[in-house]
């Protein structure tokens, strides 16, 4: 499951998030989103966990908790990919008949 984490302190590095979420299960990937020009954290990121039950436990336990003096927001990520494919898919099957 892909988990969205926001209100992350600018001091936090990916390893710190991995350590935090690893208490609830196996973490396969952590990505903090950074500004392309300044390379500074934008204050949000994504954590991927293998097991959905463990991911849900992490979301429930960590949402609203304080991490590096910030109250983090933790929720299941809603994919940008789904909205993009929904916009292009409906017209394609009807146009080629």
Question: What's the whole-model pTM score?
Answer: 0.79
User: What are 5's strand-pairing partners?
Assistant: 45, 74
Give the pLDDT confidence of 40-76 residue by residue, as tens digits.
999 999 999 999 999 999 999 999 999 999 999 999 9
pLDDT at residue 79, as a whole number? 73
The residue written with tokens 């927001």 in the block is: 73
Instruction: Name the token pair of 23.
Output: 């208490």
pLDDT at residue 82, as a whole number? 42
pLDDT at residue 80, as a whole number? 63
pLDDT band at 90 (very low <50, low <70, confident <90, very high): very low
Asked if 69 and 9 count as a contact pair (C-beta separation under 8 A), the reply is yes
Asked if 21 and 47 count as a contact pair (C-beta separation under 8 A), the reply is yes
Instruction: Name the token pair of 3.
Output: 């988990």
pLDDT at residue 49, as a whole number? 98
Domain count, the chain: 1
By CB atoms closer than 10 A (0-12, 13-18, 19+), residue 89 is: exposed
Give the domain CATH number at 10.
Answer: 3.30.70.330
Q: Which domain holds residue 89?
A: 2-95
Q: Please give the helix or strand (H or E) that residue 57 lies within, else none.
A: helix 52-62
């Amino acid at each position: 499951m892909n988990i969205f984490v926001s209100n992350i302190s600018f001091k936090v590095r990916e390893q710190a998030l991995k350590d935090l979420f690893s208490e609830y299960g196996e973490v396969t990937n952590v990505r903090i989103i950074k500004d392309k020009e300044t390379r500074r954290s934008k204050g949000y990121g994504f954590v991927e966990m293998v097991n959905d039950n463990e991911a849900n436990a992490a979301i429930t336990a960590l949402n609203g908790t304080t991490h590096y003096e910030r109250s983090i927001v933790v929720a299941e990520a809603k994919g940008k990919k789904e909205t993009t494919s929904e916009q292009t898919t409906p017209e394609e099957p009807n146009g080629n008949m």
